Amino acid sequence: MSIKDILTFEELSPKQIIRILDLADKYKEEKKKRVFRKELSSRILALIFQKSSTRTRISFEIAMKELGGEVLSFSANDLQLSRGETIEDSARVFSRYVDIVMLRVYKHKDIIKFANASSIPVINGLSDLYHPCQTLADLQTIREIKGHLKKLKIAWIGDGNNVANSLILACSKMDIQMAIACPKTHQPSQEVISYAKSKKAKILITSNSKDAAHDADVVITDTFVSMGQEKNKKERLKIFLPKYQVNQKLMTLAKKDAIFMHCLPAHRGEEVTSEVLDGPQSAVWEEAENRLHSQKALLSLLLSNRL
C-alpha cells in the first residue's frame, strides 16, 4: 500500500527509505551531468510557510522545477488562514487546485489537521515536533560518505528537538545506534523514545556529551535557539553552554574518520565552533545539498504512487 503523507518519518519502512535514497543518489548523479527528467510535467507543488526558510524553500522549488513541475509558494499572510479560515477548509481547497503540498509550521497538530482533511499528499517541511525531510538528507549524506548505514553510531549533541525526533525514528528502522546527549529538561519526545524502545532500537539518552561522542561515526548538533525561541535565548544558552558545544576537543572522542553534520543555519561559537564547522570532518554542505536530491526523490515517488 502506497503512502499518502510524510509527517514524522514513522510512516516509512526500511525498504521505502532505501528506495528514496537510491533515487536521490541517482538524481544527484544526473544533476552533475545536467540531465533532468521532466517526469512531473504539469504537476503543481504548493509550499506553505508559517516559518520562514532558506534551504527548505530553495530545495523544494528547485526539485519540483527540475522534475518539470510548477511551484506556488505562500506565507501564512498570503492565505485566508490568517483571517480565520480553518486549516481543514484550506486543505480541502488546496486539494482541488494542486497535486501536493509541503507545509512548514509552528505546531505539528496543524499539519495533522491539514493532512487529515487533504485528498492529496502532504509533506512536513518542519514542525515543532518533527523534521522528516532533514532526516532523509542526513541519511543520504551518511550513506554517501560511509558507504552504508548499518551498525553505525550517531551522536546527537544538544537540544532533543524536532530534528532529533525524526532522526531517532530513522535510526530505529535502519539498525543505527544513536547516543543523545542533552539536558534532562530538553530531551527528545517521550513518545518517540518509547517507539524506538518498542522496536528494540539502540538508543542511549545521557546528559554527558563525552559519553555520547565516544567512538561515534557521526556527530550531529542543531541550534540551541530555534525560530520562535529568541526571547528565551539567554536562558537557553546558559543551559547548553559550554557543556553541549561541539568543538574539536569533543570531536577527538569520536572515530578518526567521524563526520560532523548540522542542518543549518549554524550559530558559530554556540552549538558548534567554526573550527569544526569549516574543518575537514564537516559534511554540512553536502548535507545541505542533499536536501534537494532527497526531496526530489520524495516528490517523484509520492506523486507516482511508487512509495
Residues with catalytic function: 104, 131, 134, 222, 263, 291
Record the cell numbers describing residue 157, joined without a space: 549533541
Residue 204 CA: distances (Å) to CA of 124, 130, 166, 188: 26, 19, 15, 11
| DSSP symbol at 126 | E
Nearest to 59 by CA among 2, 16, 104, 117: 104
CA angle (283, 152, 244) in 5-degree steps: 60
Contact 271/221 with Cβ under 8 angstroms? Answer: yes
Q: How far apart are CA 88 and CA 263, in angstroms?
A: 30
d(CA 90, CA 104): 15
Q: Tell me, what amino acid is at 188?
A: P
Residue 2 three-state SS: coil
- Report the first-to-last Cα separation within the chain, whole angstroms: 8
